[in-house]
Structure 1
Amino acid sequence: MSNTFQVDLRGIVDLLSHHLYASPRVYVRELLQNAVDAITAVGPDHAGAVAITSADATGDGTLRISDNGIGLTEAQVHELLATIGRSSKRDELGFARHEFLGQFGIGLLSCFLVADEIRVHTRREGAAPVLWTGFSDGRYEVRPGPEREAGTTVTLLPRRGAEHFLTGTTVVELATVYGSLLPVAVTVDDRTVTTGVLPWQLPPAGRMAYAQETLGFRPFDVIELNVPGAGLTGAAFVLPTPVNPASRGGHRVYLKRMLLSENVEGLLPEWAFFARCVVDSSELRPTASREALYDDGMLAETRDAIADQLRGWLVRLAATDPHQLGEFLRIHHLGVKALALHDDEMLRLVEQWFPMQTNMGEVTLAEFRSRHGVLRYAATADEFRQLAAVAAAQDVGLINGGYVYDAELIERLAATDPEVRVERLDPTDLTTRFVPLDTEVELRLRPFLAAAQRRLDRLGCEVVVRAFDPVTLPSLYLVSRAAAFHDEFTASRDEADDLWGGVLDALSRTVPADRPQLVLNHRNPLVRRVAALGDAELAGLAVESLYGQALMLGHHPIRPSDAALLTTSFLGLLDRAVPGEENR
């Protein structure tokens, strides 16, 4: 036994007219859409026109929109205007007819956002005029209408509280926003709002002025877009200032020259956050609310095609205007680097043109390779700050790989080109370049080293003495990656409950137990004076102070035990420096 769904028409009207659309403003767009489609149905040579008369001009609070399009017969009025989801723009198989804007048969319902009553006075050539009246509670009436020329006039009777949407100022604004590019003449109270000129067809100065007025910025450059498969033309306006990559800016999209939305997402790939697009398409599909694009294969292909055109623009800049490319990279390097993670051509562009921070100044990866032969980098900004000066003094070039994508790009270069040598610098690697002490000096310092080691044993730090540059640096705190991992593992074990603590204890046998090193610089005069002190307590306080200074200069985290040591060593040195009352 089969049954038919029972439909509450008033509820359906409320659902579609109040919850499908984001704003009552869209009613002007839907009325324009129906008028333009009616004109299109007459034929390509028909001189169409749409006239809107606002509530200010009608004098009775109503709004009227008239077109000289094809009109409807009485049978079509019953079939189309009274059937939700049925559109005259579909054929019998349900496929949208290519030349029309509307597809879903629900556009007229958007008028119930601002009106309690909708009147449609229409006549098709060779048929009698018809007057259809729809009410917001779901009722409708059809009766013969007064004589008129072929075409349609829609009259809206405002609902309480929505009168301002039908005023001249508001209607002019909305008709201009949605319909300024339409190929038919549109007037509001005898004022023409259509220009008929696509902004990307303007001369360069006109494009800049359009972006300033419409998008709110003067673009760094304008890139023409053309995707024939989607019937898409337009332009990408490159932002002149940096933008947060996480903010996905929307794009101004027209469908058959009617504005879909000013904030459409998904038109560009994620890495292209540096551009805002204005485009018109005849093939991309809108959602039912006509406020977004339907995410299908056509949109994906269009997105890929636009990505290729943006990539081509960057390549052309590299070949024809390196200075402008350098300026662009300075502003929008994050987007290009994100693309370079997946695109070999962009990877080479970054290598040749984007300057990275090194301990020898800002240079490109290509320049760094030509000077040093190997792309040696620190994986984090903290590691770079710790090692940059010391590495430079040893004539070791070092790249700061701590910025977003930099380390990944360096490694990817080696993966794509066997001639590129890459090396991640471990902090302890520098000790191999430090000069060991003479045997005689080392024997003389052995008692001092033993005392210093006793002072720092409780902190898990090994004390060594080497000779290195720069001479002005008295000490250096070096943590190998293995030691850093051991510290993190130990901290996790201390914070874990009994269950996970037992698991971590079982794993602890496999964790290397390397210790950080405090490397004292024997070339530094202060270190030599400390090592020569006859007062063991004073020498111990001095070593603890050098340990604290090395931690802070290297931007290492300060543990509670380190903070306590810094306090006691500082107070101890201060106590020795300031004589007490008994010594005065």
Structure 2
Amino acid sequence: MSEKKQVRKFEAQTSQLLKMMIHSVYSNKEIFLRELISNASDAIDKLRFAAIQDNDLYEGDTELKVRVSFDPEAKTLTVADTGIGMNLEEVTHNIGTIAQSGTREFIAQLSGDQKSDANLIGQFGVGFYSAFMVADRVELRTRRAGAPANEGVLWESDGEGEYTVETIEKPTRGTEITMFLNEENLELLENYKLRQIVRKYSDHISFPIEMPVDVEPETEEGEDEEAKDTAVAYETVNQASALWTRSQSDIEEEEYQEFYKHVSHDFEDPLIWTHSKVEGTLKFTTLLYVPARRPFDMNTDFEGKRHGIKLYVRRVFIMDDAEMFLPRYLRFVRGVVDSDDLTLNVSREFLQENRVVRAMRKTAVKRVLDMLEELAADTENPEKYAKFWEAFGPVLKEGVIEDDRNRGRIAKLLRFSSTHSDEPSADVSLADYVERMKEGQKKIYYVTAESFAAAKNSPHLEIFRDKGIEVLLLHDRVDEWLVGHLPEFEEHELVSVAMGELDLDLGKSEDADDADEESEKKDETPEASEEIQALIERLKETLGEEVQDVRVSRRLTSSPSCLVAGSQGVSSNLDRILRQAGEFSPGFAPVLELNPTHPIIEKLSGEVDNADFEDWAQVLFDQAILSEGGKPKDPATFVKRMNKLMVDLLG
């Protein structure tokens, strides 16, 4: 096969990322070496897995290693591996473009602020492209295992918008990346400096990382440079053992953190981790991490981008993103599962139905929930759980819906905003709420809305504020489904303040005095006067099918009206979510509740002009919709009615 050198342009998103990489200011550029060694380790893992089916891929050389070398005269640094390698098509696809890994979404989040964009690039995970942080030019030589020697590929670029690619002779499989260092990073051409970086960031890599020994090899007089290079002695500079197989007491915290960055391609330290070995009927090891921040594409399945659980069988890599070991609501967890009981030749389909996998999954879920409970119970560092909840709270809430077995444990981990505080921070647990309940209160009250502000200012909260009863403010989209699957907590029923007839149900203490009895009488549904009853009938006739019913409200103290869902219906918020998503909704059939002491209601009771009454009735109804976070069916007509009524009031 022969392919002449071709000049090609990077895709726009790739080019933009490279410019950010080259020109951004990083506090720690050393991570480029970690990224390249990590990629080399992944390539070796993939070769070892592929060779289970086809041993010829080793091409007679079963030595698996990464080699880091340098040339002070040429100002080059090279990272080479004996992994799976790439063919021409794969080089073009993986190096010329990274759009398939979510680059468009990533680029859309860049703000132009150098510091914040640098942090985002770190979150994105840059892999190969990090080489351009230290190099003016990069050459990549590679050949896929099992391909002929003449199907090697040479890729070259200065990162400025174009790259060249051509086929070359490459006798050995694997990939070799040579960086022509820029003047600012020539200090990397020192053996001691490089060894420090490798040991700091890549000591956990389970394959040998070789570097030249410090002693210059002796050569015969007249020996050519190629022979001299061959004579260079190399030694292994890392431990070259799978970190998760080592005893926990022998692993430093920094080693755990660096291994996390290897498996997750994250630049930040993890928030917490758990390392455990199970030895009994089944034998397996888990090393699981919770990230410190939410990946920008966590809910988007990009091919090759998600970095979840890596599966190993007896230390042999099997697959990335082995989603069968954790449920979807724990998809933020990163790490490794290594089994001694599975066979090397397994497929995703086999693993989905496997008894051993089900047992391992049960244990892994327990370990993660144990870890989160430990984090939530850390009263000395409450900011850690707050950080976790801000990043992954809405995802964990899905567990209440999906995981019947662990619903009770997950419920204790939930955090919400509430009327206990004016701040939007979600730091109220259900246990906190129960502890603060008023004497005689049996129910946990909540309101759902599309935003914190909408929930906080809901008219349904007025009577609760007057009586000092705390209400949970639920404003995540998933909350509507969460409360449907969490009917109670510790024998306390969860009740929406915006659905059905309101029953505060505060009970009565044994020593209640006359004042308490008077207060309870006030809680009874107010009797509608003949005038109000006539208004109710008139509103029912005017609004027709727009309302299920009209009645006097027990909820309102300052607003003229509100809309309430029937006890068996859906809330206005859920109806809105379903319709926006294009899903079927049974519809929100509201009850219009009136505050008979409000001036607008009093004004409406005395309105004799039928046309004006219809305008007032529709405005009252549409205002109630607006206070729910919805919008009137006909906004233009609503505005016209409002304008007309204001003009009339102004005389």
**TM-score between the two structures when normalised by the length of structure 1:** 0.55
Partner of 2:442: 374
- Deviation at residue 550 of structure 1 after TM alignment: 1.5
Identity, % of aligned pairs? 15
- For the pair 1:302 / 2:336, whether they are aligned, the reply is no
Of the three residues 367, 374, 393, the one matched with 1:333 is: 393
| Range moving further from structure 2, 300-309 or 370-379 | 370-379
Change over 3 Å in CA distance of 1:171–1:305 after alignment to 2: farther
CA distance in structure 1 between the aligned counterparts of 2:481 and 2:55, rounded to whole angstroms: 53
Partner of 2:289: 237
Q: Note the alpha carbon deviations across 1:43-85, whole angstroms, 9 max, x for none.
A: xxxxx9778999x9xxxxxx999xxxxxxxxxxxxxxxxxxxx
Change over 3 Å in CA distance of 1:529–1:429 after alignment to 2: same
Q: Note the alpha carbon deviations across 1:412-431, whole angstroms, 9 max, x for none.
A: 666786x4344455634139
Which residues in structure 2 correspond to 1:123-272 (within 5 Å)? Answer: 163=170, 166=173, 169-170=176-177, 180-182=205-207, 190-192=233-235, 195-200=239-244, 202-212=251-261, 215-216=265-266, 217-228=268-279, 231-233=283-285, 235-242=287-294, 244=298, 249-272=307-330
SS of structure 1 residue aligned to 2:273: strand
SS of structure 2 residue aligned to 1:112: coil
SS of structure 1 residue aligned to 2:292: coil
CA distance in structure 2 between the aligned counterparts of 1:386 and 1:182, rounded to whole angstroms: 60
SS of structure 2 residue aligned to 1:390: helix
Change over 3 Å in CA distance of 1:252–1:523 after alignment to 2: same
CA distance in structure 2 between the aligned counterparts of 1:264 and 1:162, rounded to whole angstroms: 37
Which residues in structure 2 correspond to 1:492-511 (within 5 Å)? Answer: none
- Deviation at residue 203 of structure 1 after TM alignment: 0.3
Extract unaligned runs of 5+ from structure 1.
1-21, 40-47, 57-62, 66-109, 118-158, 490-510, 580-584
Partner of 2:592: 518
Partner of 1:85: none
Letter in 2 for 1:456: L
Letter in 1 for 2:257: M
CA distance in structure 1 between the aligned counterparts of 2:81 and 2:556, rounded to whole angstroms: 85
Q: Are the equivalent residues in 1 in contact too, given 2:460–2:555 (CA < 8 A)?
A: no
- For the pair 1:551 / 2:628, whether they are aligned, the reply is no
- Deviation at residue 239 of structure 1 after TM alignment: 1.0
Extract unaligned runs of 5+ from structure 2.
1-41, 71-79, 83-143, 152-165, 180-200, 213-229, 245-249, 505-522, 576-585
**TM-score between the two structures when normalised by the length of structure 2:** 0.50
SS of structure 2 residue aligned to 1:286: coil
Of the three residues 135, 138, 147, the one matched with 1:113 is: 147
CA distance in structure 1 between the aligned counterparts of 2:628 and 2:341, rounded to whole angstroms: 58
- Deviation at residue 452 of structure 1 after TM alignment: 5.0
Change over 3 Å in CA distance of 1:556–1:376 after alignment to 2: farther
CA distance in structure 1 between the aligned counterparts of 2:173 and 2:630, rounded to whole angstroms: 65
CA distance in structure 2 between the aligned counterparts of 1:53 and 1:452, rounded to whole angstroms: 82
Q: Note the alpha carbon deviations across 1:459-496, whole angstroms, 9 max, x for none.
A: 4565555686432x1222334256779xx99xxxxxxx
- Deviation at residue 204 of structure 1 after TM alignment: 0.2
CA distance in structure 1 between the aligned counterparts of 2:552 and 2:489, rounded to whole angstroms: 42
Q: Are the equivalent residues in 2 in contact too, given 1:545–1:566 (CA < 8 A)?
A: yes
- Deviation at residue 356 of structure 1 after TM alignment: 2.3
- Deviation at residue 311 of structure 1 after TM alignment: 2.9
- Deviation at residue 224 of structure 1 after TM alignment: 0.8
- Deviation at residue 276 of structure 1 after TM alignment: 0.8
| Range moving further from structure 2, 364-373 or 186-195 | 186-195
CA distance in structure 2 between the aligned counterparts of 1:532 and 1:260, rounded to whole angstroms: 78
- For the pair 1:392 / 2:464, whether they are aligned, the reply is yes
Q: Are the equivalent residues in 2 in contact too, given 1:466–1:520 (CA < 8 A)?
A: yes
Letter in 1 for 2:293: T
CA distance in structure 2 between the aligned counterparts of 1:454 and 1:265, rounded to whole angstroms: 56
- Deviation at residue 241 of structure 1 after TM alignment: 1.6
| Range moving further from structure 2, 29-38 or 270-279 | 29-38
Letter in 2 for 1:239: P
Letter in 1 for 2:617: V
SS of structure 2 residue aligned to 1:369: helix
CA RMSD of aligned residues (A): 5.7
Q: Are the equivalent residues in 1 in contact too, given 2:81–2:174 (CA < 8 A)?
A: no
Change over 3 Å in CA distance of 1:316–1:25 after alignment to 2: closer
- Deviation at residue 522 of structure 1 after TM alignment: 3.0
CA distance in structure 1 between the aligned counterparts of 2:536 and 2:367, rounded to whole angstroms: 65
- For the pair 1:569 / 2:641, whether they are aligned, the reply is yes
| Range moving further from structure 2, 346-355 or 541-550 | 346-355
Q: Are the equivalent residues in 1 in contact too, given 2:548–2:589 (CA < 8 A)?
A: yes
Change over 3 Å in CA distance of 1:400–1:219 after alignment to 2: same
SS of structure 2 residue aligned to 1:470: coil
CA distance in structure 1 between the aligned counterparts of 2:545 and 2:363, rounded to whole angstroms: 62
CA distance in structure 2 between the aligned counterparts of 1:219 and 1:64, rounded to whole angstroms: 28
Partner of 1:313: 371
Letter in 2 for 1:480: G
Q: Are the equivalent residues in 1 in contact too, given 2:47–2:57 (CA < 8 A)?
A: no
SS of structure 2 residue aligned to 1:113: coil
CA distance in structure 2 between the aligned counterparts of 1:380 and 1:170, rounded to whole angstroms: 54
SS of structure 2 residue aligned to 1:285: coil
Q: Are the equivalent residues in 2 in contact too, given 1:114–1:165 (CA < 8 A)?
A: no
SS of structure 2 residue aligned to 1:429: coil
Change over 3 Å in CA distance of 1:470–1:53 after alignment to 2: closer
| Range moving further from structure 2, 218-227 or 321-330 | 321-330
Aligned length in residues? 427
Q: Are the equivalent residues in 2 in contact too, given 1:461–1:516 (CA < 8 A)?
A: yes
- Deviation at residue 220 of structure 1 after TM alignment: 0.6
CA distance in structure 1 between the aligned counterparts of 2:49 and 2:570, rounded to whole angstroms: 62
Partner of 1:356: 416
- For the pair 1:470 / 2:557, whether they are aligned, the reply is yes
| Range moving further from structure 2, 371-380 or 22-31 | 22-31
Q: Note the alpha carbon deviations across 1:389-430, whole angstroms, 9 max, x for none.
A: 23524636544567466567667666786x434445563413
Change over 3 Å in CA distance of 1:31–1:195 after alignment to 2: farther
- For the pair 1:436 / 2:526, whether they are aligned, the reply is yes
Q: Rg larger in 1 or in 2?
A: 1
Q: Are the equivalent residues in 2 in contact too, given 1:375–1:399 (CA < 8 A)?
A: no
